[in-house]
A and B are shown apart, each in its own frame.
Chain A
């Protein structure tokens, strides 16, 4: 068979066509906000689709795909196995020792739970950190709405769980960024993986407000659903919920989805512990493998 003639300019020509189509697509308002977050790229969607289908056990379907799937499937498959391993380990070790009602942990209970978490994830989760302690370490977490990240932010600018809507007011710390132009990846991640605790009910909150506000602002929190072993590294992004709700914590839509608490009553019992991470080494988001901190 003859070698097909491909011009040396072919790559540039394809790039120009792709850019031109991308520009055309961005003329649609709804598409623009999706593309800004890159979630509409074919490659990203194929990855996501492959992951979802592999999770559903549809491996036969994957082999029939016209794209180069083995390269996409292999690492994802490995990651899935690791995820299951951490979750299984957490579930097995935590379910027998986690109280099943909202509570402040006793020292010995806390130690056992902290050790179990460290053994499964490599993370140093703490009931008390630098003398600070929340009123509950075990409690019910509820599904929160998205928070406005900068002036003018809308729910359509958020890349997941838009069904949650956006809170009418700001989070306890105000906007994550002063303007869209100053909005950074760190701000994006902080909102995506935010959690909520009842700091306003801390006994010394009023007296030590300035000091405590600075200490708790974006404080890293490990949230674990002991029923299924899923764990998410979050940052404290808001204060609440109110006593009357019967809940002690809140989670962003993405946090709740990662904990598999985003359907039905959208509420569940979790462990809620500080993370000892003075050098900011622990990434926000679901814990999918054991982390080795230096």
Chain B
């Protein structure tokens, strides 16, 4: 089971390893890992809101807030956003991870 409902769709291992293995100070590493988490989270939520009708935003966000792990959120999105939502979230997460890698190397 995921801690956030989409965790199983996101593979942050490579980016986290890049940060861990870098010679950055420990507090920077921690902050960077948290930012990676935030970027992916905000990026995916924004993507979802774009796909949903604005009338459904409140319902989705309320459900996310009250049970962030709930696999039923994926079912809700399949029904209201796209039947292929898992694949789409995976692709969106990959895009975000690529951008993060660029940021790390900039």
A residues bordering B, Cβ < 8 Å? 1, 3-7, 9-11, 13-15, 17-18, 21-22, 24-25, 28-31, 34, 39-43, 45-46, 48-50, 52-53, 58, 61-62, 64-69, 156, 159, 162
Contacts and interface: CB of A to CB of B under 8 A. Distances in A.
Contacts of A9: 106
Nearest to B43: A21
B28 A65 contact: no
Contact of A14 (B13, B39, B58): B39
B99 A29 contact: no
Contacts of B21: 1, 3-4
Contacts, number: 142
Given A10-B106, A31-B57, A17 B22 contact: no
B104 A30 contact: no
A39 B68 CA distance: 11
Contacts of B91: none
Nearest to B30: A68
Contact of B42 (A3, A21, A65): A21
A24 B7 CA distance: 22
Interface residues of B, number: 49
B57 A66 contact: no
Given A46-B3, A67-B37, 15 more contacts: A6-B18, A6-B19, A10-B32, A10-B103, A10-B105, A11-B35, A13-B106, A14-B35, A14-B104, A17-B100, A30-B57, A34-B65, A40-B64, A48-B68, A156-B58
B24 A6 contact: yes
Given A34-B65, A43-B34, A65 B57 contact: no
B2 interface: yes
B49 A31 contact: yes
A25 B49 contact: yes
20 contacts: A3-B21, A10-B103, A11-B24, A11-B31, A11-B35, A14-B36, A14-B103, A18-B42, A21-B46, A30-B49, A30-B54, A34-B65, A40-B65, A43-B38, A48-B65, A48-B68, A49-B4, A58-B1, A64-B1, A66-B16
A42 B4 contact: yes
A17 B57 contact: no
A10 B3 CA distance: 27
Contacts of B26: none
B74 interface: no
B61 A7 contact: no
B61 A10 contact: no
Contacts of B62: 162
B38 to A, nearest CB: 5
Contact of A65 (B7, B17, B32, B45): B7
Chain A CB within 10 Å, residue with most, of B10, B67, B104 = B104
Interface in B58-75: 58, 61-62, 64-65, 67-69
A251 B4 CA distance: 31
A26 to B, nearest CB: 10
B61 A15 contact: no
B16 to A, nearest CB: 8
Nearest to B67: A52
B28 A40 contact: no
